[in-house]
Chain A
Amino acid sequence: MNTAPKITCRDTTWLVSESQDRPLTESESRALEQHIAECPLCSKASVQFQVLFRQLRTYFDREASNGDPS
């Protein structure tokens, strides 16, 4: 049940990018989550990507709810 396929850090960057364009398959998400949980470098990289994606959304004014409440 917890046997996600082993992937490399480099593989995770592809999945992180693709998750922005299509839903990942269940086994892809599992492999990604498992790798990030076990790999400190990927967990840092993943935070960087999430900040980048979030700020791009704000910059392009997508998702009105994402803006400052002030």
Chain B
Amino acid sequence: MSDLVDEAEEFDAQVAAYRPVLLKLALVQLQDRAAAEDAVQETLLAALSGRKSFRREASIKTWLISIMKYKILDIIRSKKRHQFAASKFDDIDYDISAFDGLFDGTGCWRDMKDPWTDPESVTERAAFFKVLEACLTRLPEKTSRAFMMREWLEIEANEIQQLLNITPGHLRILLYRARMQLRLCMDMNWRRG
């Protein structure tokens, strides 16, 4: 019996340890400390009371992030746009010259290493995700916010444009930049070990 108690305690401690990671994610999306704290708190409470629904093959972190997704979506959609879009998207550049160096004058890749493949084992996947997370963290904040709305929250492009009050062309650039940067970052940092 005490084994079960230990297990529950360990689970609770593991869940609590992800609070900073969750808070950071929530802050980028909500741009409001109090709202972000609330979303994280609700996520942690839901996780602690829902321990039985945790599937062992998923990581606790992935599980927590997927719980928080719906809390964040609720908040984003319940707010009026003008209350929500506090951070300005009109003061950023939509420059993509950062990728110029990857291509030659005719728009051809200068160089391309052999492709990496999907991680094959649990350990390899964990290692891949570690690099992926580091690369995600390196995205500029507004690029990251738009990209995470699409990839994590799975909001359609036209709704993201409305929520962020940006044009389709600008969203297209932000998502392009994020994907180009992630590919490049993975290419430089992910090597099967």
Residues of A at under 8 Å CB distance from B? 8-11, 13-14, 16-18, 20-22, 39-42, 44-45, 47-49, 51-52, 54-56, 58-62, 67-68, 70
- A55 CB contacts on chain B under 8 angstroms: 118-119, 128-129, 132
B116 touches A51 (CB 8 A): yes
Q: Per-residue 0/1 for B179-192: is the Cβ within 8 Å of any A Cβ (1 yes, 0 no)?
A: 11011001100000
Tell me which residues from 103 to 157 in chain B have a Cβ below 8 Å from any Cβ of chain A. Answer: 103, 106-109, 111-119, 122, 125, 128-129, 132, 150-152, 154, 157
Quick one: which of A13, A48, A51, A54 has the most chain B CB within 10 A? A48
Q: Is the contact region of chain A dominated by helix, strand, or loop, or is it mixed? A: helix
A48 touches B132 (CB 8 A): no
With A44-B112, A51-B116, A68-B57 given, is the CB distance from A9 to B103 under 8 Å? Answer: yes
B157 touches A48 (CB 8 A): no
Q: Is the contact region of chain B dominated by helix, strand, or loop, or is it mixed? A: helix
Could you tell me how many residues of chain B have their Cβ less than 8 Å away from some Cβ of chain A? 41
**B167 sits at the interface (CB 8 A):** no
With A17-B176, A21-B150, A56-B151 given, is the CB distance from A48 to B62 under 8 Å? Answer: no
A54 touches B118 (CB 8 A): yes
